[in-house]
Amino acid sequence: MTYNVQIKVMPLKDLLDPQGKAVMGGLKNLGINSVEDVRIGKHITLQIDADSEDAAKALADEASKKLLANPVMEFYEIEMIN
Amino acid sequence: MTYNVQIKVMPLKDLLDPQGKAVMGGLKNLGINSVEDVRIGKHITLQIDADSEDAAKALADEASKKLLANPVMEFYEIEMIN
């Protein structure tokens, strides 16, 4: 069966997020001043062919560890959509 | 009050996603073959100072339209966290 998995990869909370800071500056230039913080990460959706939801989730976890997220700078969260 | 808003910005379903295709190739090189499709977008979290949840959501929508998403190539979804 095919499972849809969402992975959210975000910069660690303690680290500066320069891309987010740049976007916050852009919002202020557009007159949107009430945004206090912006953080930007990646949103990844995978379609995984697996025997069970647990197997699909385990595979997504392996993919995140090996390729999608850099644990030195990022954390990830996996969510099943089905 | 401060509201936390998540915005998911993804490439439109009909468009090719070259970044996703590259990641799928990378996963195959790592021996992960059961991933059938990968799509990669942005995950943005905003902290917005607003009077109500509706006002915060409207501001996030305005920010998405004006700066965060390119409607020619991307769609976005807004989700309140609080």
DSSP code of A14? T
Closest residue on chain A to B36 (Cα): A47
Q: Best mutation site among A7, A23, A45, A66 for testing chain B: the one with the most B CBs within 10 Å?
A: A45
Going from the C-alpha of A5 to that of each of B1, B18, B36, B68, the distances in angstroms are 33, 19, 11, 23
Q: With an 8 Å Cβ cutoff, are A36 and B49 in contact?
A: yes
Which residues in chain B are closer than 8 Å to A38, comparing Cβ atoms? 44-47
Specify the pLDDT at position B10: 98
Q: Map residue B65 onto helix, strand or coil.
A: helix
Reported as a single tens digit per residue, the pLDDT across A12-35 is: 999 999 999 999 999 999 999 999
- Domain range holding A13? 2-80
Specify the pLDDT at position B76: 98
Is the CB of residue B43 less than 8 Å from the CB of residue A10? yes
Domains of chain A: total: 1
pLDDT reading at A82 higher than 90: no
- In chain A, which residue ranges form alpha helices assigned H by DSSP? 18-29, 53-63
Mean of all residue pLDDT scores within chain B: 96
Q: With an 8 Å Cβ cutoff, are A38 and B46 in contact?
A: yes
Of B40, B48, B59, the CB nearest to A44: B40
| Percent of chain A whose predicted confidence (pLDDT) is above 90 | 98
Confidence of residue B23 (pLDDT cuts 50, 70, 90): very high
Reported as a single tens digit per residue, the pLDDT across B31-70 is: 999 999 999 999 999 999 999 999 999 999 999 999 999 9
Q: With an 8 Å Cβ cutoff, are A42 and B40 in contact?
A: yes
Specify the pLDDT at position A1: 92
Specify the pLDDT at position A53: 95
Of A10, A27, A34, the CB nearest to B67: A27
The CATH code of the domain that includes A58 is 3.30.1280.10
Q: Map residue B30 onto helix, strand or coil.
A: coil
